[in-house]
Structure 1
């Protein structure tokens, strides 16, 4: 098949959307499909044998690291030249709308993958969006995009319910894969642990972007837990503020590849704080790494964690819930081992190869529907 992937983010950005697209393109190429990637901003023009068409972009106010794709004729020209069988809209918000319109004009079916809760995102950046109505406006915009897609893929039950309530139909659950060869308990590093836990502390860590929508300020609730050393892996606009709040924590900055995998596996407890995660890939990576997880019991994590068996779910509405559960896990090695072992077993079949092959099945089905409508 020939697949045009129109994505709101791609390399060199490191985030959930860019990483998912990268894994999709890897697998498509490995299984004989041809892909074209359309992405905003500067970056590589080729990836894994696929051409990457770059379009004009504008830095998002309040979030300079995120280039927002601008509408233009380049998308339709690239799409017409490539002649795809299907267009994959990766987390469509801005550039995805341009791709959707181009696909409709060219008579190509679209599969829209919901991945970013932009309304929830806006809630944490009121200064950037300049209006108290931004959340409602973005919700209506999102609903319009997904109602016009031929098929919509959602990463969790919460996302399914969210879009269904907005009148979006043809919803299908499509979760993310995890690189089990990379994220593995065997990557646990005694050297890292000695460096981070110089007094034998329990290592409690967060991995991800250091940004307002991740609610990383809540890590301060864990700063004075006895016998605990906080480890913060990642970078982002609130890193400086967070370092001032957590002077005793270890900040590693952005890590990738084997360094990231070693950091995950060397933790005792992984904690996530954000409430607006449609999936939460870092939870899955921590589980694959054999680490006990404490995550919010809302959104995507509620699908990934079975409370008391594959992790612990805290209630974001309860002020002491996060602290109490992390404190419990930090005091109980047997509990951590129980949660980690069950979680590793739960993710054992969630390879990227399996989930991208499932995605290709969705491509084939919408192409078949398109042929049937034409007939």
Structure 2
């Protein structure tokens, strides 16, 4: 449903356990959303781990969990005087925010960003269904749970989630755009690019194992980087890039390879498309919702074949598809799904 985003100025509180200095799709999505909403005149505030003591996640120290107390979170939320409360993550802050809303009779919305069950199962002996049971419990009392793609909505509905609504993503088409190749010119081509966390759940080895000509370039960092650098000495690991350097990396690549099978959307896919770089990926949730034009990328269970076909595609067609993803459209979907905090709240099965 389209609504005029400027008709009713709103005070929105977003609660998130994922925040700077983390570099991931959740943080980038929330920051981009806030920028769009503020441009429309809405007041957006965040409750994040920043003001609280935190502890690192075992085996993943770049992610830190908040040690905020119930009192601290409840006071912060009360002082926000928010018209709308959105809980973006299911971690410690999200749990306390959920409890605040249920105890105070406040209506709220949530969003599903990350396949935590699959990520946890990749590192711990934790059955996926246990994790999905927790997530169903967490999201159940929300008035709406926002998901980024139709295929994820279908999948979660099949797992027993309810009141699911779409909230898509945008891309900064000014920062990410086609242009001259300025990076990787000293490496043999074609230049195949991966951008994202270097961790087990991202399936980076599927990219590094490809038997295709050219240079494989990995932009990003994570717990598996050192191990993979030793195993794949011919690949080029450049660490995190930001701003114009990151945009130049996308523009300078011949193909963007997205090997993940567990992402819910894949913001990096839209950034590559907006940069005019064709995308090779598996036909799974996320890529199949984004790479909808075969002229802009290739989805195949044979990732090597997808890369080879992408080398024949026109960059202009990738850019044209990327331009369809805007933060204005994303922001309007988000506003449409919000509910007033003083509306009748759903009753939780358990606080």
TM-score, shorter chain, exceeding 0.5: yes
Q: Do the aligned partners of 2:87 and 2:97 also contact (CA within 8 Å) in 1?
A: yes
**CA shift for structure 1 position 20:** 1.1
Q: 1:221, 1:323 within 8 Å by CA — same for their partners in 2?
A: no
Corresponding residue of 2:343 = 370
Report the counterpart of residue 225 of structure 1 in structure 2.
212
In the TM superposition, 1:38-187 aligns within 5 A as 38-40=47-49, 42=50, 54-70=51-67, 72-73=69-70, 74-126=72-124, 131-133=125-127, 135-186=128-179
Residue 48 of structure 1 is matched in structure 2 by none
> Would the alpha carbon gap of residues 8 and 372 (structure 1) be closer, same or farther in structure 2, given more than 3 Å must change?
closer
Following TM superposition, by how much is the alpha carbon of 1:263 offset from its aligned partner in structure 2, in angstroms? 0.3
Aligned partners of 1:55 and 1:75 also within 8 Å: no
Matched, 1:30 2:23: no
Map Cα deviations across residues 45-95 of structure 1 (whole Å, 9 max, x no partner): xxxxxxxxx233321122111112346221111011111111111132432
Deviation at 1:312, TM superposition (A): 0.7
Task: Name the structure with the higher helix share.
Answer: 1
Q: Over residues 294-339 of structure 1, what are the superposed CA-to-partner deviations in whole Å (9 max), with x where a residue is unaligned?
A: 0111111110113633311122xxxxx1123223434xxxx221xx
Structure 2: distance between partners of 1:177 and 1:115: 14
Please give the secondary structure, in 2, of the residue aligned with 1:204.
strand
> How far is 1:132 from its partner?
4.0
Report the Cα offset of residue 372 of structure 1. Answer: 10
- Residue number in structure 2 paired with 1:20: 29
> 2: CA distance between counterparts of 1:181 and 1:150?
35
Asked if 1:215 is matched to 2:215, the reply is no
Report the CA distance between 1:371 and its aligned residue. Answer: 6.3
Structure 1 residues 369 and 98, CA gap change in structure 2 (3 angstroms): closer
| 3-state SS of 1:367 partner | coil
Give the 3-state SS of the residue equivalent to 2:329 in structure 1.
helix
Contact 1:111–1:152 under 8 Å retained in 2: yes
Structure 1 range deviating more: 260-269 or 169-178? 169-178
| Structure number with higher relative contact order (C-alpha < 8 Å, ≥ 6 residues apart) | 2
Question: How large is the RMSD of aligned CA atoms in angstroms?
Answer: 2.0
TM-score, normalised via structure 2 length? 0.90
Is the CA contact (8 Å cut-off) linking 1:210 and 1:234 kept in structure 2? yes
Q: CA deviation at 1:195?
A: 2.5
8 A Cα contact 1:283 1:295, kept in partner: no
Structure 1: give runs of 5+ residues left out of the alignment: 43-53, 316-320
| Conserved? CA contact 1:84–1:108, under 8 Å | no
Q: In the alignment, is the contact (CA less than 8 A) between 1:310 and 1:342 conserved in 2?
A: yes
Mapping 1:283-302, distance limit 5 Å: 283-302=269-288
- Alpha-carbon distance, 1:345 to partner: 1.4
Distance 1:144 1:70, change over 3 A: farther
Gaps spanning 5+ residues in structure 2: where?
Answer: 1-9, 347-351
Q: Say whether the 8 Å CA contact 2:89–2:111 is kept in structure 1.
A: yes
**Structure-2 separation of matches of 1:328 and 1:31:** 41
Aligned to 2:247: 261
1:240 correspondence with 2:226? yes
The alignment partner of 2:48 has SS state of strand
* Distance across 1 between alignment mates of 2:288 and 2:333: 22
- Alignment partner, residue 51 of structure 1: none
Pair 80,372 (structure 1): closer, same or farther in 2 beyond 3 Å:
closer
Show the counterpart of 1:356.
331
In structure 2, distance between residues paired with 1:350 and 1:325: 23
**1:157 shift after superposition:** 2.1
* Count of paired positions: 336
